Structures are given as C-alpha cells and as structure tokens.
C-alpha cells in the first residue's frame, strides 16, 4: 500500500510544490481549479456529500489538520472524532482537535496522492465556492492508508467536467449600529461570551464593525506587531493560550502552552509538538484587545484582522469551564 505511484509522465510543477495556494494565485486560478485541471490519478474529485465526508475522516487515524486564511495557518495533529452535526453546522471535539465547521460553505473536495521520494503524500482537501481551501487533512506515517483509499474510491465522483467556481465574496464594509447606545448597553450586559453573536445580528453588525462601535472599556486598538509580543510573553511566563484560526468554512482551535516562537522570512511561527501556527504579521490590518463581559467577569481576547476586515485569528487564555480567566493571561494582554 505504501509503494509510491509511478506516473508515466513527470508531475507538473504545481503538484510537486509545497505552496499550491501561492502558485494558484500566480496563475490567476483558484486553488481548487488548479487541482481539478490535473489530468492523472493523483487527484480524484469527490462527491460534495460533505456531512458524510466529515464522518469518514475518523477512520484515517492520526492526521495533520490544516486550516488557514490569508494571514494565518493553523496545523494540529490529532484524530477526527467527537463529531456532532446539526443542520449545516458541525463540531469536532476530540482533543487536541477542536473545530467548528460550517458545511454550507463546503463546495468542492478532492483526494490527493502525490508521489514523493519519502513516500506518497496523501490528503483530503475541501474548498469553498470560490475554490479557496477550507480544510486540508494530511495523512501521516501512522495514518490508515486503506481507509484513505476506501474514502477516495467510495466518494469518487467520476466527473471530468470543468470545475465551476464563484467570485470570492466581498468582505462586509464598515457599518454602524442604528442605536449605538443600545448596542453598547447590550454588550455591557452580557452574561455569556456567546451572546455576542446574537447582539451582532440584532444590530446588523459584522464583528469588525462592532469593535468600532464598542466603548473604550471593552476594546483597545493595538499595533500590528502585537502577535509576536503576545506569543513571546506567553512563552516566557508559561501561560497557556487558546488560538483560533478560521475561514468561511470553519474554525480550528488549539489550547495549550507556547514555548517556541521563531521568525522565518515574513512568517512568525509558534511551534509545539503536534501544533504549529504560521502567521503573517505584515498582513494584519488591525489588532485589538477586546474585553467581553460574562457572569465570571471580563474575558480578554486579542483579535487580529486582515486588511479586508475579516477576522484572521483570536487568542484567549486557557481557562477552566465556568470560571474566570487566568489573571496572568489578562496581564499579558493588557501589557501589549
């Protein structure tokens, strides 16, 4: 099962690259379109039965789950499990994997097997309507290859039709609440952090515009270099951090210590066993410390936004359920 594929012709350069997203941009194509154009057994287009596909992922065993956006890449090693699906929303809670998934955005999927001198590189890749990657599940040496082949064969669509992608949806522009005072009262009266989403809907605001409307007691702007300082301070103090990175189709969360922070070219990297965060600090448009009221006191987050005002990453302090936040985390965030 582990014998590399032996194609009769050399693989095109984009199949050998570790930067398919960048190459797709250079060619003026969506990444999913690049995969769909490949004429060979290395790429198999899958039927868009996304809930069933998600339920098939646990059989792969230990994998590397990758979720990214324009600014941040979040990689966690673990096994899919603890899957709950309600309508078009799904949860994966099988630590260290912790995900919130929005299946309505899952439009295209592929099983990919690329020959390599070290052995085939296998993955299941999911894309949105614009052909941008939502989730990539990379097999590891310990993964179940038979399960991958069963998934690939069982979900294969057999389609060779051109992949149709939509233009990327524009991020919402700035907006203001019709009643700013009422909005601020509702924020100040929160008892649970999850009430924030209902408040946004009630006042017709996106997350970034809501920060513009909140008062100084609950939001404070930061310089764009806040991420590096945050991670370095958490590493120095031994304070565990929750890191959220997502896109239109999902959010991936990791909770744990940060010990190693390194800059490599334009990327800032937090590297731990089984977890890596890659971050382009130069692509951050805005950064904030945000304080949301709860019945346990204020919960402090550091939020980073891309230039188009979409959320790139969030950081919280790790805390016990039904308890207030770690004072050491709050001190780090407030010192930024």
Q: List, edge to edge, every strand of the sheet that includes 219-222.
A: 83-86, 89-94, 97-102, 250-256, 241-247, 311-317, 299-306, 284-292, 219-222
The yes-or-no verdict on residue 65 having pLDDT over 50 is yes
Where helices occur in 108-260 by DSSP H, the ranges are: 145-155, 180-188, 195-203, 207-213, 226-237
pLDDT tens digits, residue range 267-315?
999 999 999 999 999 999 999 999 999 999 999 999 999 999 999 999 9
The H or E element that residue 247 is part of is: strand 241-247
Q: How far is CA 222 from CA 123, 226, 285, 289, 307, in A?
A: 38, 6, 11, 7, 15
Instruction: Give the pLDDT mean for 27-47.
Output: 86
Question: How much is the pLDDT for 158?
Answer: 85
Contact by Cβ (8 Å): 203, 177: yes
- Bridge partners, 86 (sequence order): 89
pLDDT tens digits, residue range 105-160?
999 999 999 888 888 999 999 999 999 999 999 999 999 999 999 999 999 998 87
Helix axes 226-237, 327-335, angle to 10 degrees: 150
Question: How much is the pLDDT for 255?
Answer: 96
Bond into 330 cis (ω within 30): no
Domains of the chain: 13-83+106-155 (3.40.1570.10), 180-335 (3.40.1570.10)
Q: Tell me how far apart the alpha carbons of residues 218 and 186 are, in angstroms, rounded to a whole number.
A: 12
Q: In which band, very low, low, confident or very high, does the pLDDT at 181 lie, cut at 50, 70 and 90?
A: very high
Contact by Cβ (8 Å): 149, 93: no
Give the pairing type, strands 241-247 and 219-222.
Answer: unpaired
Instruction: Give the pLDDT mean for 84-102.
Output: 97
């Amino acid at each position: 099962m582990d014998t590399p594929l032996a194609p009769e012709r050399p693989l095109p350069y984009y199949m050998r690259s570790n930067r398919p997203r960048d190459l797709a941009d250079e060619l003026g194509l969506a990444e999913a379109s690049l995969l769909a154009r490949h004429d060979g057994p290395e790429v198999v287009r899958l039927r868009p039965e996304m809930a069933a596909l998600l339920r098939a992922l646990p059989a792969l065993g230990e994998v590397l789950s990758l979720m990214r956006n324009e600014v941040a890449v979040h990689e966690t090693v673990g096994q899919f499990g603890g899957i709950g699906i309600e309508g078009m929303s799904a949860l994966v809670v099988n630590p260290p994997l912790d995900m919130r998934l929005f299946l309505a955005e899952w439009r295209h999927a592929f099983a990919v097997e690329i020959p390599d001198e070290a052995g085939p590189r296998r993955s299941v890749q999911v894309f949105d309507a614009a052909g941008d990657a939502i989730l990539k599940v990379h097999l590891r040496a310990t993964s179940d290859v038979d399960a991958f082949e069963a998934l690939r064969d069982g979900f294969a669509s057999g389609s060779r039709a051109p992949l149709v992608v939509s233009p990327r949806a524009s991020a919402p522009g700035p907006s203001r609440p019709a009643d700013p005072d009422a909005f601020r009262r509702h924020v100040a009266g929160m008892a649970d952090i999850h009430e924030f989403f209902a408040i946004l809907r009630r006042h017709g605001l996106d997350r970034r515009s809501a920060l513009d409307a909140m008062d100084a007691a609950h939001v404070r702007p930061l310089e764009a270099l806040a991420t590096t300082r945050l991670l370095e301070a958490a590493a120095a103090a031994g304070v565990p951090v929750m890191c959220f990175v997502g896109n239109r189709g999902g959010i991936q969360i990791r909770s744990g210590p940060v010990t190693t922070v390194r800059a490599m070219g334009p990327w800032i990297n937090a590297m731990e066993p089984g977890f890596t965060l890659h971050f382009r600090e130069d692509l951050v448009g805005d950064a904030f410390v945000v304080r949301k009221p709860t019945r346990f006191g204020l919960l402090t987050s550091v939020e980073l936004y891309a230039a188009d005002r979409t959320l790139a990453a969030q950081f919280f302090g790790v805390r016990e359920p039904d308890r207030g936040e770690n004072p050491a985390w709050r001190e780090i965030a407030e010192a930024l």
